[in-house]
Structure 1
Amino acid sequence: MAYNHGEQSLTNTIGDLPQNFLGSNNTHFLLPSSQFGTSLYGDNDEASVHYSFTQLSLPALSLFNKNDELL
């Protein structure tokens, strides 16, 4: 899923990025720390974005320079 200008597109993209179940076609760069959906309901059971929490995963952190962490 590509980001396409706007809050709703951004929340949909962030909601899809942490999914790590079979068939999600993601290398998850965001940790699935809350309910981001499962394959059980065809990826339509994710929680509202207001209740979601995530952070960068270790593979994502390895892509960035350590000096940029404060940014």
Structure 2
Amino acid sequence: RTLIHHEPDNSHCQCGCALKRIGEDASEKLDYTPGVFTVERHIRGKWACEQCETLIQAPVPAHVIDKGVPTAGLLAHI
């Protein structure tokens, strides 16, 4: 299992206040390299500004198949 963290580029809100981590969303994709299957766990942190209540989260990584779990490496092998 490989953990891949996706975080916002900036640690401050547009109002200038520091963002506070309030949680995370996780998704998993199945990858294949010759002889080995691996799971990529993509973790996207949720960040909020206590002052202006803005929520920020990194975008979802693109899927090769919409709502699918295989990576490009697995599909290339098939």
Q: What range describes the TM-score normalised by the shorter chain of this pair? A: under 0.3
TM-score (norm 2): 0.20
Larger strand fraction of residues = 2
* Relative contact order higher in (CA < 8 Å, ≥ 6 apart): 2
TM-score (norm 1): 0.21
Larger helix fraction of residues = 1
